[in-house]
Amino acid sequence: MKPQSSPKTYRVKSFGCQMNVYDGERMAELLGERGIQPAPEGEEADLVILNTCHIREKAAEKVYSDIGRLVKAGNKAGKAPLIAVAGCVAQAEGEEIMARAPAVSIVVGPQAYHRLPEMLDTAANGGRATDTDMPAIAKFDALPGRKKRGPSAFLTVQEGCDKFCTYCVVPYTRGAEISRPFAHLVAEAQKLVETGACEITLLGQNVNAWSGEDDKGRKTGLGGLIRTLAEIDGLERIRYTTSHPNDMDDDLIAAHGEVDKLMPYLHLPVQSGSDRVLKAMNRQHTAESYLKLLEQFRAVRPDIALSGDFIVGFPGETEAEFEDTLRIVDEVRYAHSFTFKYSPRPGTPAATMEGQIAAEVMDDRLQRLQARIAHHQFAFNKASVGKTCQVLVERTGKLPGQWLGKSPWLQSVWFESPAAIGDLVEVTLDEAGPNSLMARLRQTITV
Ligand code: 5AD
Ligand code: SF4
C-alpha cells in the first residue's frame, strides 16, 4: 500500500526525557506551519512521528514493534501512514532502521528536525529521507515561533553532553555541548509567557553548563540567564533540569537564595554513593563533594527539595557499594528521585566492563533503593503539612470539582475549590500521601 502523498494530519509520540517532549512540540509547530493538523483523538494520523529515546535497552525493539503496529493499523484502515523516526534511536541506528523497516520514510536525528518539511516533500513523492547530521549551527533559528501551550512550558537552553559517563549514550546521540544564545532564549521565554505560560522549565542534558553573553556582552552562566528571565512580567516560576554536579557555579547557587521566581527544587543526579563506582562511571565527583555541594544549596535555600537519579547494578557493584548508595539517600533525604537498573548500551565503555550484574541482584537492589526513596519522599510530604504555598493549577482531578497543581517543591497537590487551569492559587497543605498532598484553597492570585 502506498503512503498517501501529502499528509493532512499528524501524531507525534515522544518517549523518554523532557527534551524529547520539547522537541516533539517544536516538530508539531513546524507541521502546523505547513497546515498539517493534529489527528483527532481515536483517528489514525496520516503522518506519525516516533520521537524515540535510546537511554536504556530495548529502545530499538520498541521502535520496530511500534512501526509494525502502525503498518497493521494502516492496512486495516486502508491507508498506510507516513512514518518518521526521530530522536536518539534515529540518531544512533538510522541506517539500520532504513534497511530493516521499509515502511519508514523519514529518519531524522535530534539536531536535524528543522529539515522535516523538505524531508516530507521527498517522502510525499514516494522517496525516503535521512538526516542524522549534528551541525553546530542552531536548528532553533530555522524553527517557527512558539504556539499557545499550557501554563507550564519547556525551553531548551543547552543540548548535548561532553561528560562521557561510561554507561551513557547521550554524548553520542545528542553530540557535544552547545548553548543557545542569550537573546534567543529571552525572546523565546517572552513569547512563551505571551502565549500563556507562567512557569518555564529550562532544559538541557547539562543545563547548568549553559553559558553565553548577556545583552551587555558580559559572559554569563545559567544563574545570570535565570536572573534576566525573572524580570519578565507574567513569568512566575522558573525551574531547570538536568544538572551535573561539576558544572554548578557560585552564581547559580546564589540565585537560589536571591531569585524568588526560581523554585526551591534541584534535580542533581548522583547515580551512586560509592566512590569506586563513581570513578568507574567517570562521574568526576565523589559522594563527599556532592554532599558538600548540596550543603551550599541548603545554606542559601533551607527548604530546597532535592531530587536525584540513581543507577543500581553498574558493572562490578558490590553489596557494600550498593549500601553506600542507600546511605547517601538517607543522608540527603531526597524529596523525589528516579531509579534505574543499569542497562548496557552498545558502544559505551561500561557495556564491555567485567562484572556485569545478574538480573535478580539488580531487581533486588532496585526494590530496596525504591523503598528507601519512597520513605524519604513520604517524610518530605508529611513535613510539608501545615505550610501555605502557591500551587500552579495544571489539570482537573479525577473527581468532579477537583483540581491538580504543583507546589513550589514540585509535589502534586489536590484541592476542591473552583479554579481554572493556569491559575496560581494559594493553598494550605492539609494532608500528605506518599505521592501527593491534599490542600485547602485560601485565595486565587491573579498573574
Ligand atoms: N543504564 C541505566 N540508566 C541510565 N541512565 C543513563 N544511562 C543509563 C544506562 N545505560 C540514567 C542516569 C541518567 C538518567 C537520565 O538515566 O541515571 O541520569
Ligand atoms: Fe549522560 Fe553523564 Fe552526560 Fe548525564 S552527564 S547526559 S549521564 S554522559
The predicted structure's pLDDT at residue 2: 47
What ranges make up the beta strands (E) of 224-365?
A: 237-241, 265-267, 305-312, 336-341
- Residue 353 Cβ contacting ligand 1 at under 6 Å: no
Residues of the chain with pLDDT under 70: 1-5, 136-138, 148, 446-447
Q: Which amino acids bring their CB within 6 angstroms of ligand 2? A: 161, 163-165, 168, 170-171, 205-206, 244
- Work out which ligand 1 atom sits closest to the CA atom of 269: 18
In total, the chain counts a number of residues equal to 447
Residue with CA nearest ligand 2 atom 1: 168
Which distant-in-sequence residues (6+ apart) come within 8 Å of 272 by Cβ?
A: 278, 281, 283, 287, 310, 311, 314, 317, 321, 324, 325
User: Among candidates 85, 197, 175, 182, which has minimal Cα distance to 131?
Assistant: 85
Residue for grid cell 495544571: 394
Which distant-in-sequence residues (6+ apart) come within 8 Å of 106 by Cβ?
A: 82, 83, 84, 85, 86, 116, 119, 120, 122, 123, 128, 129, 130
SS3 content of the chain, % helix, strand, coil (to 5): 40, 25, 40
DSSP 356: P
* CATH 3.30.750.200 matches 264-383: yes
pLDDT, tens only, 373-382:
999 999 999 9
Would you list the domain boundaries of the chain?
9-136, 145-263, 264-383, 388-446
Query: What are 322's three cell numbers?
Result: 550498593
Provide the residue type at 53 as one letter: C
The answer to whether 145-263 and 264-383 have equal CATH topology is: yes
R_g over Cα of the chain: 23
The helix (run of H) or strand (run of E) holding residue 77 is: helix 59-77
- Residue 308 Cβ contacting ligand 1 at under 6 Å: no
Alpha-carbon distance of 246 to 249, in angstroms, equals: 8
The arrangement of strands across the sheet holding 82-86 comes to 37-38, 9-14, 47-52, 82-86, 104-108, 129-131
Residue with CA nearest ligand 2 atom 5: 163
Ligand with smallest separation from the Cα of 158: 2
Phi, psi of 145 (to 5 degrees): -65, 160
Please give the full DSSP string across 357-416, using - where no structure is assigned.
PPHHHHHHHHHHHHHHHHHHHHHHHHHHTT-EEEEEEEEE-SSTT-EEEE-TT--EEEE-
Q: Which fold has domain 145-263?
A: Transcription Regulator spoIIAA (3.30.750)
Ligand 1 pocket, mutate which of 88, 168, 348, 365 (most atoms under 8 A from CB): 168
Q: What is the CATH number of domain 388-446?
A: 2.40.50.140
The predicted structure's pLDDT at residue 144: 84
- Residue 340 Cβ contacting ligand 1 at under 6 Å: yes
Whether the CB-CB separation of 22 and 60 falls below 8 Å is answered with: no
The predicted structure's pLDDT at residue 446: 64
The helix (run of H) or strand (run of E) holding residue 437 is: strand 436-445
The predicted structure's pLDDT at residue 447: 63
- Residue 384 Cβ contacting ligand 1 at under 6 Å: no
- Residue 146 Cβ contacting ligand 1 at under 6 Å: no
Q: Ligand 2 centre from 52 Cα, in Å?
A: 17
The predicted structure's pLDDT at residue 7: 93
Ligand with smallest separation from the Cα of 271: 1
Q: Ligand 1 centre from 338 Cα, in Å?
A: 9
Alpha-carbon distance of 164 to 172, in angstroms, equals: 9
Query: What are 55's three cell numbers?
Result: 537511554
Q: Ligand 1 centre from 311 Cα, in Å?
A: 7
Q: Ligand 2 centre from 120 Cα, in Å?
A: 32
Alpha-carbon distance of 445 to 447, in angstroms, equals: 6
Q: Which fold has domain 9-136?
A: Rossmann fold (3.40.50)
- Work out which ligand 2 atom sits closest to the CA atom of 164: 8
The helix (run of H) or strand (run of E) holding residue 152 is: strand 152-156
Whether the CB-CB separation of 392 and 199 falls below 8 Å is answered with: yes
Alpha-carbon distance of 237 to 229, in angstroms, equals: 10
Residue with CA nearest ligand 1 atom 17: 309
Query: Three-state DSSP class for 245?
Result: helix
The predicted structure's pLDDT at residue 273: 98
Ligand 2 pocket, mutate which of 91, 205, 241, 267 (most atoms under 8 A from CB): 205
The predicted structure's pLDDT at residue 443: 83
